[in-house]
Structure 1
Amino acid sequence: MSAASRVINFGAGPSALPDSVLQEATKGLLNFENTGIGIAEISHRSPEFTSYLAGVEALIRQQLGVPSTHSIFFTQGGGTGQFSAVVLNLLARHRLLYPDLRDEERGLDYVLTGSWSKAAHTEGLRLGGGQVNIVVDGRLHSKDAKSFDNIPPHASFKFSPNPALIYYCENETVHGVQFNHAPESIDSEGKSVEGTFPFHLLPQGQLAPLVGDYSSSFMSRPIPRLADHAVIYAGAQKNIGPAGLTILIVRNDCIVDVDAAAKLGAQPIPITLSYKTLADGKSVYNTPPVLAIYISGLVLKRNSELGGVKYYERVNKKKAEKVYEVVREGEEKGVFRGHVQEGSRSWMNIVFVVLGDGKEKAFLQGAEEKGMTGLKGHRSVGGIRISLYNAITEEQTDKLVAYIREFLESQ
């Protein structure tokens, strides 16, 4: 199949990758870095691959402005694996910091804004062993009092005074809810910037154990207050690579001796989930997802040439605005019904319902006839979901918008 015959993939993940990157990757499959060995065959401890891995780390550090206080790791397991790893590692840290606390006094804080933060909270309940606190539940602030359709107001956030972990999901792919990425959560007059994560409300006088799940927005725009996070993690399969790779940015004080913590009563941690294992082994303690790292490196190099996250911030904003505008037109005509409240809408995943019997099926069929796929909503909520990850171009977005207007005119 030629590049010209490829469909436009608006799927939520694994998602589209740039054609130029895929073409370059085929060369590496046969001969990586002039070794005469393909990237899928080469040793993960070879000097050629470890040098490449260091280069991928440098590209992330440079483009996101990751400070020296934080380390970058590459591993498997996706965001779901990190639901477990962050709990175990940060509970071990908490045990070392506060060895005399009882288990029931070691709290975990979760901000619930959609399906993925709800799943992370469920895992926290399984592994936490102490108090698992819901900081805020977006469903209580929704239009129907039961759906995830908003980022709750800052006044509703209630953090624990000394939790082991504070978790939030920056972008919820299923429900299309995303935090505002304004650089500060309060303005120059001291007023809350609603829709942002309320950094100003975090427990004071300590290095906050803040965990940001950035799986579906990583490298799509700058990360506010990155240095204030204990852990940021992301599955690669949305914006920068194929499935199988998870990228971690971990503050150095969170890389702790988990065996020493276990001797004090902490839950033992499987060796490949330990951040110290990743640090000591420089991400190659065991075989990492070599091919996924290679392709992600090609994407990151291309990103750098285009202008990095600032470039994508501009482009992704324009793409989202174009799609939301045509969805609004559909709402005014009574053909569409949007889901997310104003001010909480995702740039990455735009969700809505096509009203009327058989209309959703007709919408999806018409899009496929024009070479556009992956538009069906998540099985848990239905409807339509348009994912506008980095590899989706403005031109491709314009084609989708034109099709949607054509569909509206036919109704």
Structure 2
Amino acid sequence: MTTSHDRVINFGAGPSALPVPVLEEAAKGLLNFSGTGIGIAEISHRSKEFTECINNLESLIRTQLGVPHTHSILFSQGGGSGQFSAVVMNMLARYRLLHPDVKPEKITMDYVVTGSWSKKAAEEARRLGGGQVNIAVNSREFSKDGKSFDNIPAHDAFKFSRDPALIYYCENETVDGVEFSHELSEPTSFPFHLLKQGSLAPLAADYSSSFMCRPIPRLADHAIIYAGAQKNIGPAGLTVIIVRQDCIVDVDAAAKLGAAPVPITFSYKTLEESKSLYNTPSVISIYMTALVLELMKEKGGLAYYEDLNRRKAGRIYGLLKDGEEKGVFKRKVKAGSESWMNVVFEVLGDDAEKRFLEGAEHLGMKGLKGHRSVGGVRVSLYNAITDEDTEKLAQYMRDFITQEVTTKGQA
């Protein structure tokens, strides 16, 4: 069974589903972009038409997300993993300019480790050197088994350094299905109140798998927010970086003072001064992301998607609770720490997970297998997953629960 265009429902974690109207429009653009008679994959990135496209994308993000003019919006390549490095190098350069006489061993970078991606980011910071990595909190220490990333720790568990060059967290952990609450009154929200008040906090956040799914709490208090496009807003190849302007520094001047040299395409100053066109950008990804953002605007922007995504997640988590009570499913994340975007769980019983995945695929639902490092099932409910898509999966889960309970009852 398939959807329109002989397409299945793609619940994969990324590259992920894109809206069909965007794909249809992009197909036209591959042949003739913006009436130029040249396809988007062929056109010069310095052409008037593409310059208008990238400027429009910046405007759509700034308007819908409410990005203040204290922050620049940059477009890069290299994905989130590239920013693991770029964030460290740019922020260490900034710190060196502010503190030219501080020895590297006295420089600290704080990392909040709540899942696989923030763990990788901290490892990259250690590899690059230039400062000491302080794990401000490690959620594994508060997990059920002492090994899993299954929670956001309480605020009193966070131990930030006195004057760090960088404070880093991942808002939504795609692999582990753990996410900070966007309600600041909740105990699983990010503890902004613990940061040094009255100063420009060096706070950097990886928003790759939750970007544009709802508003970003205290966006203006962040130094850097970045996101790979391939989850919610576009195809792989584009990284959106929102940078507070005091963090766009002269990395060459910092290098003369002892900071590590920064590759020129990783320098936020290079991206800012070239309007993200220092080298050939990911033109197709930028074009398609702009189409997605135009569609989002037509539907009502973040208010619409926040409501939609809350409903979708609530429906699936409600069924997980029912299935858990009946011994069919087992949630992998503690209550209050669950991701709206990546719902992770286990299917209990011999070969039950295999039956669940095969049954879903038979009904035209793919991409549900969990990450290879943790196993289980992962349902990714990004913006392009509709209410109807979610209900189809929900009905399958209801039927699966009933079938499993009946089978166990007959055994």
State the TM bucket, normalised to the shorter chain: over 0.9
Aligned residues of 1:16 and 1:392 also touching (Cα < 8 A): yes
Alpha-carbon separation, structure 1, partners of 2:88 and 2:8: 40
* Offset from partner CA, 1:69-122 (integer Å, 9 cap, x none): 000011100000000000000000000001011111111000000000000000
- Trace 1:210-249 onto structure 2 (pairs within 5 A): 210-249=203-242
Aligned partner of 2:348 in structure 1 is 355
Alpha-carbon separation, structure 2, partners of 1:2 and 1:308: 25
Q: CA deviation at 1:2?
A: 8.3
Aligned partner of 2:171 in structure 1 is 170
- Trace 1:152-167 onto structure 2 (pairs within 5 A): 152-167=153-168
Aligned partner of 2:408 in structure 1 is none
Q: CA deviation at 1:205?
A: 3.9
User: Matched residues, percent identical?
Assistant: 67
* Offset from partner CA, 1:307-345 (integer Å, 9 cap, x none): 111111000000000000111111011111111000000
Q: CA deviation at 1:52?
A: 1.0
1:330 pairs, out of 309, 323, 326, with: 323
Aligned partner of 2:36 in structure 1 is 35
Q: CA deviation at 1:146?
A: 1.5
Aligned residues of 1:160 and 1:203 also touching (Cα < 8 A): no
Q: CA deviation at 1:403?
A: 0.5
Q: Secondary structure at the match of 2:135?
A: strand
- Trace 1:150-299 onto structure 2 (pairs within 5 A): 150-182=151-183, 185=184, 187=185, 193-299=186-292
Alpha-carbon separation, structure 2, partners of 1:360 and 1:64: 38
Structure 1: runs of 5+ lacking an equivalent: 188-192
Aligned partner of 1:390 in structure 2 is 383
Aligned residues of 1:79 and 1:233 also touching (Cα < 8 A): yes
Aligned residues of 2:115 and 2:149 also touching (Cα < 8 A): yes
Q: Secondary structure at the match of 1:37?
A: coil
1:344 pairs, out of 337, 340, 343, with: 337
Alpha-carbon separation, structure 2, partners of 1:211 and 1:118: 14
- Range with bigger deviation, 303-312 or 229-238: 303-312
Q: Secondary structure at the match of 1:160?
A: coil
Let me know the Cα RMSD of the aligned residues: 1.0
**AA of the residue aligned to 1:331:** E
* Offset from partner CA, 1:193-248 (integer Å, 9 cap, x none): 31100000012342101001000000000000000000000000000000010000
- Range with bigger deviation, 398-407 or 124-133: 124-133
Alpha-carbon separation, structure 2, partners of 1:265 and 1:160: 22
**AA of the residue aligned to 1:32:** F
* Offset from partner CA, 1:23-52 (integer Å, 9 cap, x none): 011111111111111100000011110111
Alpha-carbon separation, structure 1, partners of 2:251 and 2:212: 30
Q: CA deviation at 1:181?
A: 0.6
Aligned residues of 1:212 and 1:231 also touching (Cα < 8 A): yes
Q: CA deviation at 1:16?
A: 0.2
Residue 146 of structure 1 pairs with residue 147 of structure 2: yes
Aligned residues of 1:176 and 1:345 also touching (Cα < 8 A): yes
Aligned partner of 2:121 in structure 1 is 120
**AA of the residue aligned to 1:307:** G
Q: Secondary structure at the match of 2:401?
A: helix
* Offset from partner CA, 1:276-296 (integer Å, 9 cap, x none): 010011000000000000000
**AA of the residue aligned to 2:312:** K
**Count of aligned pairs between the two proteins:** 403
Alpha-carbon separation, structure 2, partners of 1:194 and 1:143: 18
Alpha-carbon separation, structure 2, partners of 1:315 and 1:23: 23
Aligned residues of 1:159 and 1:203 also touching (Cα < 8 A): no
Aligned residues of 2:204 and 2:225 also touching (Cα < 8 A): yes
Alpha-carbon separation, structure 2, partners of 1:42 and 1:5: 30
Q: CA deviation at 1:390?
A: 0.2
Alpha-carbon separation, structure 2, partners of 1:248 and 1:113: 21
Aligned residues of 2:92 and 2:130 also touching (Cα < 8 A): no
Alpha-carbon separation, structure 2, partners of 1:305 and 1:375: 29
Aligned residues of 2:130 and 2:260 also touching (Cα < 8 A): no
- Trace 1:76-155 onto structure 2 (pairs within 5 A): 76-155=77-156
Aligned residues of 2:96 and 2:257 also touching (Cα < 8 A): yes
Aligned partner of 2:401 in structure 1 is 408
Q: Secondary structure at the match of 1:111?
A: strand
Aligned partner of 1:374 in structure 2 is 367
Aligned partner of 1:190 in structure 2 is none
Aligned partner of 1:61 in structure 2 is 62
4+ aligned runs moved over 6 Å, structure 1: none
Structure 2: runs of 5+ lacking an equivalent: 405-411
Aligned residues of 2:3 and 2:9 also touching (Cα < 8 A): no
Aligned partner of 2:293 in structure 1 is 300
